[in-house]
Amino acid sequence: MDDNKTSLQSQSPLSQAQRSVDKVENAVDQAYSHPNEQAIRQAQNALEKAQRSLEQAQLTENPVAIRQARDQFQAAQSNLSQLQSQLH
């Protein structure tokens, strides 16, 4: 029974949004480690997916948790913007 509850929780819009934001951070870190167009493009794609996930979660989930995930997302977005401006 607990396994089913955990499985359902891992599929919630909030957990999906958090995983998307984590992927953004990883993609931005990769772009900083290996600054090239492909890495930046991958980070931008991750940003877009995370933004959609956050928007979906916002409709159904805990507003405090969503705000924390959005803050994390915005920090990653800012880091990517800084990297892009350094490369151009």
Which pLDDT band holds residue 9 (cuts at 50, 70, 90)?
low
**Rounded to an integer, what distance in angstroms lies between the CA atom of residue 31 and that of residue 78?**
13
Residue indicated by tokens 């891992």: 10
Q: Torsion over CA of 62, 64, 65 and 71, rounded to 10 degrees?
A: 140
Domain ranges of the chain: 13-87
User: Which pLDDT score is estimated for 58?
Assistant: 83
Is the distance from CB of 42 to CB of 27 less than 8 angstroms? yes
Residue 37 in this model has a pLDDT that exceeds 60: yes
Residue indicated by tokens 């499985």: 7
Mean of pLDDT values over 42-58: 93
**Rounded to an integer, what distance in angstroms lies between the CA atom of residue 77 and that of residue 47?**
7
Residue 88 in this model has a pLDDT that exceeds 80: no
**Rounded to an integer, what distance in angstroms lies between the CA atom of residue 50 and that of residue 54?**
6
Which pLDDT band holds residue 62 (cuts at 50, 70, 90)?
confident
Q: Model-level pTM?
A: 0.76
pLDDT, mean over the chain: 86
